[in-house]
Amino acid sequence: MKTILPEVAAIIPAAQLIIIKKNLSAYQDGIERLAARLQKCPNIGETDNMKEHPAVFHYFNGSTDFYICEYDGKRSMFGYAVLGGDLDNSEWGYFDLQDLISIPQFNIDYHFEKQSVEAALYAKYPKYFKKPESEELE
């Protein structure tokens, strides 16, 4: 792959995308991982009533994390957000992709392991979130 598929480029934060395009070969594995996850990403509403939600994408900067489990393929994403490490006000919600990718210094995690949102939250904040049943998503 010598270019980034438009649908993959669309989910990468703007500042990060500039760096990637300058040295595409160095980021090839990460781009391929994102493309594979994008193909398997549930649409909006598909994870309703699940005990654990697939963490398909992870956006981050410092102590701010967005764990995305649904994406409509255009602009709307659904997942869990922890803003500035504020666990008491962290919550599930809908996010606009354009808002996420336009935040300076925001990144998408190429190496985020396949797991549930609940497992990711427990791994990062074990004293705050309860241990999920599976700790991973098969």
Reported as a single tens digit per residue, the pLDDT across 61-82 is 999 999 999 999 999 999 999 9
Identify any residues that bridge with 70 across adjacent strands, giving them in sequence order.
Answer: 78
Instruction: Work out how many domains the chain is built from and give that number.
Output: 1
Is 50 a member of any domain? yes
10-37 pLDDT per residue, tens: 999 999 999 999 989 899 999 999 999 9
Is 132 a member of any domain? no
Is 29 a member of any domain? yes
Is 27 a member of any domain? yes
* Residue 137: band (very low, low, confident or very high) from pLDDT cuts 50, 70, 90: very low
Is 1 a member of any domain? no
pTM of the model: 0.91
CA distances from 50 to 6, 18, 118 (A): 30, 36, 11
First to last CA, the chain: 28
Helix (H, G, I), strand (E, B) or coil at 66: strand
Is 134 a member of any domain? no
Q: Range of 94's domain?
A: 6-124
Identify any residues that bridge with 30 across adjacent strands, giving them in sequence order.
Answer: none
Instruction: Determine the Cα–Cα distance for residues 54 and 129; give it in Å rounded to an integer.
Output: 16
Q: Which two tokens stand for residue 93?
A: 């919600």
